[in-house]
Structure 1
Amino acid sequence: MMAVIALACLAGCGKANDVKAESVVRFATFNVYLNRPSEGALIEDLKTGDTAQAQKVAEIIQRVAPDVLLLNEFDYDAAGEGLALFQEKYLGVSQNGAAPALYPYVYVAPSNTGLASGRDFDRDGVVTIEPGSRAYGGDAFGYGEFPGQYAMALLSKYPIDEAGVRTFQTFLWKDMPGAMLPDDAATPEPDDWYSAEALEVFRLSSKNHWDVPVIIGGARVHVLASHPTPPSYDGEEDRNGKRNHDELRLWADYIAGDPESYIYDDKGMRGGLAAGERFVIMGDLNADPHDAGAVPGAIGQLLTSPLVADAPFPKSTGGAEQAALQGGANESHEGDPAEDTADFNDDPEAGVGNLHLDYVIVSKAGLKEIASGVFWPGPEDEHYDLLGPGFPVESSDHRLVWRDLQVVEE
């Protein structure tokens, strides 16, 4: 089931259709860490309205006040109950004096996470079809211990063109020309870590890839949303690193404007984005430009595209301060810690430290950046308690990243 939900506009919501094209619109992505270990658990957590983690996530969103917001790691349910509860009981209610964040338009769709493949993807000799275990997640189309775990949702104050939405959940990895398929070093054959039987059904997207057109003052902006797999939790074959690379490549090829592209969507329509279209690529892309385990050049496929605006990365003061305070793995990093967007284990032996993983990447055509930032307040900031020192996680182990954009005519 895919759905664009037009919610009843609550008091103060405003009229999205009245917004002029020259208005500044805040686009943001936030891995909200609202995943739970079992199906339905998030819904139960959200029902009371007093879940501390969700309250802090909601307050961060209210403080930043995005107009178009992608949520990563929000468990999917087909009825949309979890998202409706989060909107009603958290975003729609003032958190510590912050103005409610009201989004009349929502897009949700199924995720490959936790969706049984019927194949032995993790090569443990067993096809696991019963949800609720790591073995099950290893054989799912995207890692998840139940269907919809770690999914995503798009919230918008602007109308969504439902008819124009394209999704790429079922696109097969083997159908990408020159795919970076993992290799079993113990055999002479190339690219054979996955069996031929597995590759016949193996989907490229670990969650989903969405092209969701948002209408801003009559102008169309394509929100290209995804959450590629982390380039870790594998072995010498680097199957997750290579999948991450090609999940990013899908967008790089999609924006290239080739109507004869190899890419096909879930309705069978072929081709990429039309030349000259405005787009914003958003999500936890799980690829640091300098540090950790991404395949070299993975995020560079997008950042160096001639179709992408050459804009500085969003920054925060808190990211740099925490990297210095936490030390450990952060001391060996090459990237600017002010650009970090995620706070992980700092143990130099077992951890990766803080990384730059979350992106809002903007088309050169039709959009002008006004400002950008990462919500990461430092220890002296009044909102530091929304994040804390990293562990335990107060709200999320990721930070909300935003860019203010203006729609312009070319």
Structure 2
Amino acid sequence: MRIAFWRVDFAAAGPGAALAAILARRPHTVAMAQVIAGLAPDILVLSGVDYDPRGHTSAALNALIAAQGYDLPHTFAPTPNAGMPSGVDLNGDGMAHGADDAHGYGAYAGARALLLLSRYPLATDRLRDFTQMLWRDLPGAMLFTGATPEQLAVHRLSSIAHVALPVLLPNGADLWLLAYHAGPPLFGNHPDRNRNRNHDESAFWSHWLSGELADKPPLGPFVLAGGSNLDPFDGDGLSEAMRRLLAHPRLQDPRPTSPGGAATANADHIGPAEQDTAAWDEKQGNLRVSYVLPSSDMTVLGSGVLWPLPGTPLDDLLTATGSAHKPVWLDLSLN
């Protein structure tokens, strides 16, 4: 079984723009569907797809993928924090209705959220949704300088969503899919709010898997798939949170690699370039910020980052999607 995570970018300017781009079969959306069909995941977590409570966007995207010869009929879009108004001045700029005052950064409600697609049914009736958990309720929460009681009373931990959902496998077993996407550690004018929040969004899973929260993790197999916006060694974030999660005894890190990442190495970086998942031209360079991590009781058959060598047809196709992020995939044994 293949499980994949990919941070896509529809470059949506407002509500409904992503849906319009999909329905219009714009070149970057067709390229995304072709990449997904070629990768052929059994379970796929996408980040960057606008939330649509009526399901039109997920249905349209699914139809576009199916038109490329591959079907992922079961979809679920968790209600995100991104762009959802908090009514409170969370970033301390004197206004309470900006994009950075939402429960998660977003210029409009549901901007660039999560979408789960699967060949197998999703047991949404057993969904565990941590998206509305308050940041202050996380054990050891780092919070931020100057946080007021009013801010902490509404400030949620999750920038987009944190969810756990059972996938119903053909052999009758459950595979728990844990999905999230954290905000970047460095943006805005606040000195440490987004950096500390980014740290704690990944630290959440370490606490949960260790049984330190009221909700206890499942005993059976699971896969954590998401974008932490945090490299274990390099970049602007507090990397120890990612290193701690990768070393958690209930997880294993297959360390997926790619030839394209290795070919575009950053000379001043500590981490292995072949494990990078994002091709950034900015100061921080390429980083490993996307992950598919199975539980330690599962057998990994293969893994990789879909980042081919420059100048190849597949590289051209990925470039046409407009996303700086590369899909990360993992093949697992169901036995």
TM range, normalised to the smaller chain? over 0.9
Deviations 1:165-213 (A, max 9, x none): 1111210011112211112xxxxxxxxx221101001111111111011
Residue 39 of structure 1 and its aligned partner are, at CA, apart by: 1.0
Partner Cα separation in structure 2 for residue 37 and residue 194 of structure 1: 31
Structure 2 residue aligned with 1:212: 165
Structure 2 residue aligned with 1:143: 105
Say whether 1:152 aligns with 2:126.
Answer: no
Q: What is the TM-score of this pair, normalised by structure 2?
A: 0.95
Structure 2 residue aligned with 1:132: none
Partner Cα separation in structure 2 for residue 340 and residue 253 of structure 1: 25
**Local SS of the residue matching 1:44:** helix
Q: Output aligned runs, 1:5-404, within 5 Å.
A: 25-49=1-25, 51-88=26-63, 90-94=64-68, 100-128=69-97, 136-183=98-145, 193-216=146-169, 217-234=171-188, 237-256=191-210, 258=211, 261-262=212-213, 270-274=214-218, 276-309=219-252, 311-323=253-265, 330-346=266-282, 351-365=283-297, 367-388=298-319, 394-404=321-331
Residue 85 of structure 1 and its aligned partner are, at CA, apart by: 1.1
Check whether the contact 2:50–2:113 (CA below 8 A) recurs between aligned residues: yes
The alignment-based identity, stated in percent, is: 35
Cα RMSD for the two superposed structures: 1.5
Partner Cα separation in structure 2 for residue 65 and residue 169 of structure 1: 29
Deviations 1:136-184 (A, max 9, x none): 211101000000001011000112122211111210011112211112x
Partner Cα separation in structure 1 for residue 183 and residue 327 of structure 2: 19
Partner Cα separation in structure 1 for residue 136 and residue 310 of structure 2: 48
Residue 399 of structure 1 and its aligned partner are, at CA, apart by: 0.3
Partner Cα separation in structure 1 for residue 281 and residue 288 of structure 2: 14
Residue 235 of structure 1 and its aligned partner are, at CA, apart by: 5.0
Partner Cα separation in structure 2 for residue 394 and residue 42 of structure 1: 13
Partner Cα separation in structure 2 for residue 234 and residue 293 of structure 1: 14
Query: What are structure 2's unaligned runs of at least 5 residues?
Result: none
Partner Cα separation in structure 1 for residue 53 and residue 109 of structure 2: 10
**Local SS of the residue matching 2:179:** strand
Check whether the contact 1:35–1:150 (CA below 8 A) recurs between aligned residues: no
Residue 380 of structure 1 and its aligned partner are, at CA, apart by: 4.5
Partner Cα separation in structure 2 for residue 322 and residue 296 of structure 1: 22
Query: What are structure 1's unaligned runs of at least 5 residues?
Result: 1-24, 95-99, 129-135, 184-192, 263-269, 324-329
Structure 2 residue aligned with 1:20: none
Structure 2 residue aligned with 1:267: none
Partner Cα separation in structure 2 for residue 170 and residue 358 of structure 1: 23
Check whether the contact 1:214–1:220 (CA below 8 A) recurs between aligned residues: yes
Q: What is the TM-score of this pair, normalised by structure 1?
A: 0.78
Structure 2 residue aligned with 1:13: none
Check whether the contact 2:62–2:73 (CA below 8 A) recurs between aligned residues: no
Paired letter, 1:72: S
Deviations 1:276-321 (A, max 9, x none): 3211110111110111011131112211111112x43101101122
Deviations 1:321-369 (A, max 9, x none): 233xxxxxx22111111111001124xxxx221110000011012x100
Paired letter, 1:384: D
Paired letter, 2:240: G
